[in-house]
């Protein structure tokens, strides 16, 4: 059985690869390599081949395969005791643990475990091995000196991840079915249940701070268990989180979210979200090199590994891997990174020292996007625009920050950004300081501007007066009405030579929009890029401007590159390839790219 985290999706993005082939090489493994562990004392990597019922041993110094060792059926988990040079393989298919002597790379013992042993952890200080039996709802404790099972500890339902803290002699299991983590006292094997979120999926341990991080897959959260204070903190992350890595030197934790193509960075001491790094494709595995503060993020859809700076989140490199890179292990002492590629039956061996010496690539530009918080009927557009921008930024190495109001906006704040996007935020409810900073930003050309839909809701609304500056900026228009029943219509490009029209046909259809009408056409005060053909409305409506009806335009009287795009009511717009192309053009043109 292959775990359900192998979700193969069609990639609609192309991940740009650096000159990665000088930094890596492929090493043949067995069938379905799905886990890997490293002995930093010997610089050997041990790769679990689930479909081949074997472990491939790779010499990290030479990159050569040193041995292939037969295991039990369906191996899935592996752990190394560097103090004894023993390797422990959990064989999910036959309920056993294979013990390998790393000095001779041969099996010395097979130990019976419980039902479906899926994960294994080692305490090198006590020479105890702990095996999480997913179907047995228990943990088998093995004495590493005698290779015998000495205890069975009842834990929660479906333990699927396990970690051990040698400093405290405590062991932790993530129990998928019972919404808890079990803490086992290694001295007496006494279990204690620690409540966490729904469907705990993965664990990571920070031994320096004595914190345990539990990823709750169906709660979109991470539970931080501070075992020194006994406190538990729940931190929200992206949807379907499934992997977590920790840098004990910095105290940062890194959480991958499959559904949102993102990595959340958490400050462990405060539980504060430090940043979100958006990814160009679904992630599949993570590895953290604490010595270089580099984070390795595998993508199953692109068959590559993205390397980012652990502090800034800036890109360092992208390395081509094999098909479905599924697990990562890092040998800090040997300067090697091992990536097990599930579908191509090989391992990508990366030069970690060369990666550590590389400088991060700064983002091309920074964008701030503002939208109303809880924007009613427009919220689906805002949410879809966030997803679109995040993916576009990840693919093209720029940064997007989001605000839901004007409170943070001032001259210093805006100086960080080369582009301001007004996502369905109206031309009122601006604080005086924010308004002045924004006017200065536009009139002096300090950055570009893209406005959607509500940005031209000019008039007296919600007790706010008409804003004369915005009215002039947008062509001296006033909102007069809209199509509450929505309509399908044809948009016609007027200026095909403009960069905003790149890749667009002379006309295209928008399937559903609540087309606004204004008191007049904004011409001749603005340069019109496109109009809506009112005769094409389906269904037919009497709510029309009766002739010239611009829907995309720019005001050349301001130093800033600027464009207003009327469309922007709901998420259905992103089903249109022409709208996506227009949005993309607006971002890069507005940012001066």
Other Cβ atoms less than 10 A from the Cβ of 578: the count is 17
- Distance of CA 465 to CAs 427, 460, 531, Å? 10, 5, 28
Q: Of 71, 380, 394, which Cα lies nearest the Cα of 257?
A: 394
Give the model confidence (pLDDT) of 209-262 as tens digits.
Answer: 999 999 999 999 999 999 999 999 999 999 999 999 999 999 999 999 999 899
- How far is 593 from 346, CA to CA, in rounded Å? 40
Q: What is the pTM of this model?
A: 0.86
Separation between Cα atoms, residue 166 and residue 207, nearest integer Å: 8
Residues 438 and 586 in one domain: yes
Examine the domain organization and report whether 412 and 270 are in the same domain.
no
Distance from C-alpha of 26 to C-alpha of 111, rounded to nearest angstrom: 33
pLDDT digits 0-9 by tens, 460-493: 988 889 999 999 999 999 999 988 889 999 999 9
Please count the CA atoms within 13 angstroms of the CA of 57 that sit on its side-chain side: 22
Asked if 219 contacts 197 with a C-beta cutoff of 8 angstroms, the reply is: yes
- Is pLDDT above 90 for 591? yes
pLDDT digits (tens, 9 = 90+) for 405-432: 999 999 999 999 999 999 989 999 999 9
pLDDT for the residue 158: 98
Query: Is-cis flag, bond preceding 539, omega within 30?
Result: yes
For residues 399 and 527, membership in a common domain is answered with yes
CA dihedral 503, 565, 422, 545 (to 10 degrees): 180
Any domain includes 346: no
Q: Is the confidence at residue 570, as pLDDT, over 70?
A: yes
CATH code, domain carrying 210: 2.40.10.480
Place of tokens 């000019």: 458
Confidence at residue 424, expressed as pLDDT on a 0 to 100 scale: 86
- Say if 506 falls within a structural domain: yes
Shared domain for 412 and 535, answered yes or no, is yes
Note whether 404 and 271 are same-domain residues.
Answer: no
pLDDT digits (tens, 9 = 90+) for 119-163: 999 999 999 999 999 999 999 999 999 999 999 999 999 999 999
Within-domain flag for 532: yes
Q: What percent of the chain has pLDDT over 90?
A: 88
Buried b (16+ CB within 10 A) or exposed e, 250-278: bbbbbbbbbebbbbbbbebeebeeeebbb
pLDDT tens track for 351-372 = 999 999 999 988 999 999 999 8
Examine residue 15 and state whether it is found in any structural domain, yes or no.
Answer: no
* CA torsion through residues 556, 559, 563, 564, sign: negative
**Which among 232, 233, 274, 238 is positioned nearest to 253, based on CA atoms?**
274
Q: How confident is the model at residue 484, as a pLDDT?
A: 86
Q: Are residues 263 and 373 in the same domain?
A: no
Say which range, 21-30, 95-104, 284-293, 489-498, has the weakest mean pLDDT.
Answer: 21-30
| Domain boundaries, position 531 | 366-590
* Segment 299-346, tens digit of pLDDT: 999 999 999 999 999 999 999 999 999 999 999 999 999 999 999 999
pLDDT value for 16: 37
How many CB atoms within 10 Å of residue 226? 17
Count of domains forming the chain: 2
Report the pLDDT value the prediction gives residue 316, as an integer from 0 to 100: 95
pLDDT exceeds cutoff 70 at 189: yes
Indicate the SS3 state at residue 344. Answer: coil
Which pairs with CB-CB distance under 8 Å and at least 24 residues apart come from 87-90? 87/37, 87/39, 87/46, 87/55, 88/120, 88/122, 88/129, 88/131, 88/142, 89/46, 89/48, 89/55, 89/120, 90/117, 90/118, 90/119, 90/120, 90/131, 90/132
Tokens of 468: 């004369």
526 and 395, same structural domain? yes
In this model, does residue 14 exceed pLDDT 60?
no
Indicate whether 544 belongs to any domain: yes
State residue 378's pLDDT score: 82
Domain finish residue from 227, 244, 278? 278
Q: What is the reported pLDDT for 306? A: 96
- 397: its two tokens: 């190495």
Out of 278, 311, 334, pick the residue that ends a domain.
278
CB 295 within 8 A of CB 310: yes
Pick from 548, 299, 586: which is nearest to 422 by CA? 586
If one compares 88 and 6, the residue with the highest pLDDT of the two is: 88
User: Can you read off the two tokens belonging to residue 412?
Assistant: 């210093």
Higher pLDDT, 2 or 373: 373
Q: Quick check: 20 pLDDT over 90?
A: no
- Read off the pLDDT of each residue in 586-590 and give the average, rounded to a whole number: 98
| The pLDDT of residue 188 | 96
Q: Do residues 264 and 372 share a domain?
A: no
* Band (280; pLDDT cuts 50, 70, 90): confident
For the chain, give the mean pLDDT.
93
Domain assignment of residue 552, yes or no: yes
Q: Is residue 389 part of a domain?
A: yes
259 and 370 together in one domain: no
CATH of the domain at 373: 3.40.50.880
The reply to whether 256 and 405 lie within a common domain is no
Largest interatomic CA distance in the chain:
90
For residues 531 and 490, what is the distance between their CA atoms, to the nearest angstrom?
Answer: 9
Span 62-118, pLDDT tens digits: 999 999 999 999 999 999 999 999 999 999 999 999 999 999 999 999 999 999 999
End-to-end CA distance of the chain: 48
Please count the other Cβ atoms lying within 10 Å of the Cβ belonging to residue 356.
16
Domain stop point among 229, 252, 278: 278
pLDDT at 546: 87
CA 175/CA 92 separation, integer angstroms? 16
Considering the domain architecture, whether residues 260 and 383 belong to the same structural domain is answered as: no
* pLDDT over 90 (residue 6): no
Whole-number Å distance between alpha carbons of 105 and 432: 72
Retrieve residue 386's tokens. 């966030």
Residue 113 within any structural domain of the chain: no
Q: Are residues 385 and 484 in the same domain?
A: yes
């Amino acid at each position: 059985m292959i775990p359900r985290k192998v979700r193969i999706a069609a990639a609609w993005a192309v991940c740009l690869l650096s000159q990665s082939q000088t930094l890596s090489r492929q090493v043949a493994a067995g069938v379905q390599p799905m886990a890997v562990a490293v002995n930093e004392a010997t610089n050997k990597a041990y790769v679990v081949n689930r479909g081949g019922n074997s472990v491939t041993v790779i010499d990290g110094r030479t990159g050569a395969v040193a041995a292939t060792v037969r295991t039990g059926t369906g191996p899935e988990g592996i752990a190394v005791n560097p103090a004894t040079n023993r390797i422990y393989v959990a064989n999910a298919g036959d309920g056993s643990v294979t013990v390998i002597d790393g000095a001779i790379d041969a099996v010395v013992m097979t130990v019976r475990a419980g039902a479906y042993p899926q994960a294994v952890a080692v305490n090198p200080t006590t020479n105890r091995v702990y095996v999480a039996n997913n179907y047995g709802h228990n943990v088998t404790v093995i004495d590493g000196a005698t290779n015998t099972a000495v205890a069975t500890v009842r834990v929660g339902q479906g333990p699927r991840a396990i970690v051990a803290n040698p400093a405290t002699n405590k062991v932790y299991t993530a129990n998928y079915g019972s919404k808890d983590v079990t803490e086992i006292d290694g001295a007496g094997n006494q279990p204690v249940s620690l409540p966490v979120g729904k469907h705990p999926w993965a664990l990571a341990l920070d031994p320096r701070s004595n914190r345990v991080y539990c990823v709750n897959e169906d709660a979109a959260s991470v539970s931080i268990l501070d075992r020194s204070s006994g406190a538990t903190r729940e931190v929200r992350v992206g949807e379907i989180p499934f992997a977590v890595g920790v840098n004990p030197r910095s105290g940062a934790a890194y959480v991958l979210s499959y559904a949102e193509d993102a990595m959340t960075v958490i400050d462990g001491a405060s539980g504060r979200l430090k940043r979100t790094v958006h990814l160009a494709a679904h992630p599949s595995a993570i590895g953290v090199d604490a010595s270089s503060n580099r984070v390795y993020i595998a993508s199953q859809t692109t068959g590559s590994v993205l390397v980012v700076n652990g502090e800034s989140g800036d890109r360092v490199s992208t390395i081509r891997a094999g098909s479905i890179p599924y697990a990562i292990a890092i040998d800090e002492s040997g300067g090697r990174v091992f990536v097990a590629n599930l579908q191509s039956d090989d391992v990508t061996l990366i030069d970690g020292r060369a990666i550590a010496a590389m400088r991060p690539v700064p983002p091309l530009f920074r964008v701030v996007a503002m939208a109303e918080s809880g924007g009613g009927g427009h919220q689906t557009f805002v949410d879809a625009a966030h997803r679109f921008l995040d993916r576009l930024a990840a693919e093209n190495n720029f940064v997007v920050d989001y605000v839901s109001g004007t409170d943070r906006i001032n001259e210093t704040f805006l100086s960080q950004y080369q582009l301001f996007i007004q996502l369905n935020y109206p031309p009122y409810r601006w604080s005086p300081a924010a308004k002045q900073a924004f006017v200065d930003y536009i009139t002096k050309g300090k950055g570009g501007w893209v406005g959607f839909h509500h940005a031209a809701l000019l008039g007296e609304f919600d007790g706010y007066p008409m804003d004369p500056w915005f009215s002039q900026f947008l062509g001296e228009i006033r909102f007069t009405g809209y199509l509450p029943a929505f309509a399908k219509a044809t948009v016609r490009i007027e200026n095909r030579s403009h960069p905003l029209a790149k890749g667009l046909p002379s006309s295209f259809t928008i399937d559903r929009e609540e087309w606004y009408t204004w008191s007049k056409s904004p011409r001749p005060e603005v340069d019109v890029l496109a109009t809506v053909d009112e005769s094409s409305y389906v269904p037919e409506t009497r709510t029309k401007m009766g002739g010239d009806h611009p829907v995309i335009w720019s005001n050349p009287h301001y130093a800033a590159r600027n464009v207003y795009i009327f469309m922007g009511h709901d998420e259905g717009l992103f089903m249109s390839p022409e709208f996506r192309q227009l949005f993309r053009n607006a971002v890069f043109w507005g940012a001066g790219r």
